[in-house]
Every structure is written in structure tokens, then in C-alpha cells.
Amino acid sequence: MTRVLVLVLSGFALLAATPVAAAPGQTAGPAGRDALVLPKKKVSGKPSSSVGVPAQKPRKAAVDRSFPAMRVALDPGHGGLSTGAIGVAGIYEKHLMLSLARKVRTLLEAEVGIEVFMTRDGDEDVDLASRPARAAAAGADIFVSLHGNASPLPDVRGVETFFLGAASDPGADEVSRRENAEAVTPGPMADDPAVSAILSDLRRNGNLSESASLAEAIHRLLVAACPDTPSRNVRQGNFAVLRRASMPAVVVEVGFMTHAVEGHRLALPSYQDKLAIAIRDGILAFARRTGAAHAFVTRGSPTRIP
Ligand SMILES: [Zn+2]
């Protein structure tokens, strides 16, 4: 009897020590996205493989253990000596964007398979070129730069989202020129050959189309969340902060701080919450579309993602 018991226990130990084979299609990320597998993962650390014990949450356990994840770089615009725009509510863009980025970070960090890196997490001067460099050093898969807009014309309002390109219209040129003003080396104009070279590189490695897709996803969710805020569309602009990004990258201009209504709204924590949810959902929609955050895709979130 004792002998049998020992044998059984040994067999159990052997089984328990055997790695559990993942279901087909669960271990490998989408083709070509292996780089998205992070060195460290937020996993539960609780294997679901107890012999004779029914798995309680087999689907979630499988997702948590072995999937590619996505690391999101959030870039709160400006900081330190660069105040950014100063709106009608008297708040600096640098403070407002840090507040918004922190809200987005909190929301994203609650998602399985998403990690967040901030290019700054204080009132700090960060050179425009250093922002994507910091994101790259942190292994970011996407780069989302957050800004508040400004115009000398008090009636101008709305949300607009940019990815890198020769300015698609004079308005885009104006926004990028203003945002580039703090750059150590001011950005070249749209016909600068350096921009053409960067764009051709980005096209080659697919980052440009992914940047467009990321911009579209975030913009769509922002516009849906703020129906009384006009959409100024997804556009291309020659932003210094995007030029050095080695990953899909966008500049989100969440609204005009200089507009009498929009400027005061942007200063409201409740409105920032709304924007943060939309930005998170846009990022997750992009992740689902590209398959980058496979964990999220598998788990799904039908209540939030249209
Ligand atoms: Zn800005």
C-alpha cells in the first residue's frame, strides 16, 4: 500500500513538473511581432495545471502566462521650462498633459498585456529628440505624445491627431511649427530631404502605416467620446518629436486650450477622465487590430471596444 502510494505521488510529481503544453495558436504571437514579447511579464504565477483539479479559469490563466504584450510609451508634451500653451483656464499645457497621461497610464496598467512607460513623470525638461529615444530605450512598441492645442483665433476648437509626414495642409504645418518651437534643432520644413528619407524608412518597415492606424484608432474613440467637440481629422505633420520615433508614433492634440468653452473643459478632471478613457480605448483598439497585445485580444473587452 505504501509502495503504491509512493508511486502515485511520484507520478503526480512528474506530471506536475512537466510544462503544460499551450493550446495551438496561443504561444506564438502574430508573425513578425516576436519583438513584442517582453522580457518580464505581469503574470499571475499560478499554474492552472493541477492534476485532478478542474481548472477554475483556464482561459485567463492561459492568456496571462505566455502571450506577447505591448509596451506603450506615453509622452506628456512639454515640461520644465517648456510650458506649452497657456489656455483660457490659466493652466499650462505641460501640467494638463502630465495629468492626462497619468490618467491614461492608470487605465492602461489595469489591462492584461499592456505595460506603460512615461517619457516624463514630473515637471521635467525633456528634449523633443530624447522623448522617442527614451521610449525606444524602454522597449516601447508604440509612442503616444499628448498635447493641448492653441490658436490665435479664439473660435478654433476640436481634436486632431497627427502622424509623421509632410504637412497635409497649412493648419497642420502651423501646429507642428508651434510644437517644434521648443526643439533644440527646429524642425525642417515639409520639403526637407531629411524628412523624405525618414518617411521612406518608416514606409519600408511598416511604421508609417501603423502610425496612421494608431492615429485613426485614437482619433475615432476621442471623437466618439466627445460628440460636441469637432473632429479636425487625422492628419500628417512634420513633428520633431515623431521624426526620431522608431516605432508607430502619433501626436494627439486633445483640444484647444485657447477656446473659451473647450479650454475650460480641458481643465476639468472629469473631462480629462473622459479623454483618458477614449485614448486608452483607442490604444487597445489598435492593439487588437494589429494583434500586438495578443493577451488583450484573447481576453476581449466587448463593453469598451466597438
Ligand atoms: Zn504641445
Instruction: Give 93 Cα–ligand 1 centroid separation in angstroms.
Output: 7
In total, how many domains does the chain have? 1
Q: Which pLDDT value is given to residue 109?
A: 94
Q: Which residues lie closer than 8 Å to 183 by C-beta, 6 or more apart?
A: 127, 128, 129, 240
Please check whether residue 304 lies inside any domain of the structure.
Answer: no
For residue 239, give the nearest of 187, 200, 161, 196 by alpha carbon.
Answer: 187
For residue 264, give its domain range. 70-299
Check residues 167 and 46 and name the one with the higher pLDDT.
Answer: 167
Q: pLDDT digit string (tens) for 199-254?
A: 777 776 778 999 999 999 999 999 999 999 999 999 999 999 998 899 999 999 99
Q: Which pLDDT value is given to residue 200?
A: 72
Q: pLDDT digit string (tens) for 140-154?
A: 999 999 999 999 999
Please check whether residue 1 lies inside any domain of the structure.
Answer: no
Torsion of CA 136, 194, 190, 155, to 10 degrees: 20
Please check whether residue 38 lies inside any domain of the structure.
Answer: no
Instruction: Give 114 Cα–ligand 1 centroid separation in angstroms.
Output: 25
Q: Which residues lie closer than 8 Å to 279 by C-beta, 6 or more apart?
A: 100, 104, 144, 146, 218, 221, 222, 252
Instruction: Give 242 Cα–ligand 1 centroid separation in angstroms.
Output: 13
Contact 162, 239 (CB under 8 A): yes
As a whole number, the mean pLDDT across the chain is 76
**236 backbone φψ class: left, alpha, beta (φ>0; ψ -120 to 50):** beta
Q: Which pLDDT value is given to residue 258?
A: 96
Residue 103: band (very low, low, confident or very high) from pLDDT cuts 50, 70, 90: very high
Please check whether residue 105 lies inside any domain of the structure.
Answer: yes
What is the number of other CB atoms lying within 10 angstroms of the CB of residue 187? Answer: 22
Residue whose entry in the numeric block shows the C-alpha cell 510644437? 179
Please check whether residue 181 lies inside any domain of the structure.
Answer: yes
Residue 297: band (very low, low, confident or very high) from pLDDT cuts 50, 70, 90: very low
* pLDDT of residue 4 exceeding 60: no
Q: pLDDT digit string (tens) for 33-60?
A: 333 334 443 433 333 344 444 444 444 4
Residues facing 250 on adjacent strands: 144
Please check whether residue 57 lies inside any domain of the structure.
Answer: no
Q: Collapsing DSSP states into helix, strand and coil, what is residue 293?
A: coil
For residue 275, give the nearest of 225, 240, 233 by alpha carbon.
Answer: 225
Instruction: Give 289 Cα–ligand 1 centroid separation in angstroms.
Output: 28
* pLDDT of residue 290 exceeding 90: no
State how far Cα 44 lies from the chain centre. Answer: 23
In CATH, what number is assigned to the domain containing residue 284? 3.40.630.40
Please check whether residue 78 lies inside any domain of the structure.
Answer: yes
Q: State the average pLDDT over residues 57-72.
A: 52
**Residue 124: half-sphere exposure toward Cβ, Cα within 13 Å:** 12
Q: Please, what is the Cα angle at 86 between 265 and 268, to 5 degrees? A: 20
Q: Which pLDDT value is given to residue 2?
A: 42
Instruction: Give 15 Cα–ligand 1 centroid separation in angstroms.
Output: 57
Residue 182: band (very low, low, confident or very high) from pLDDT cuts 50, 70, 90: low
Instruction: Give 179 Cα–ligand 1 centroid separation in angstroms.
Output: 5
Please check whether residue 106 lies inside any domain of the structure.
Answer: yes
66-75, 179-188, 222-231: segment of lowest average pLDDT: 179-188
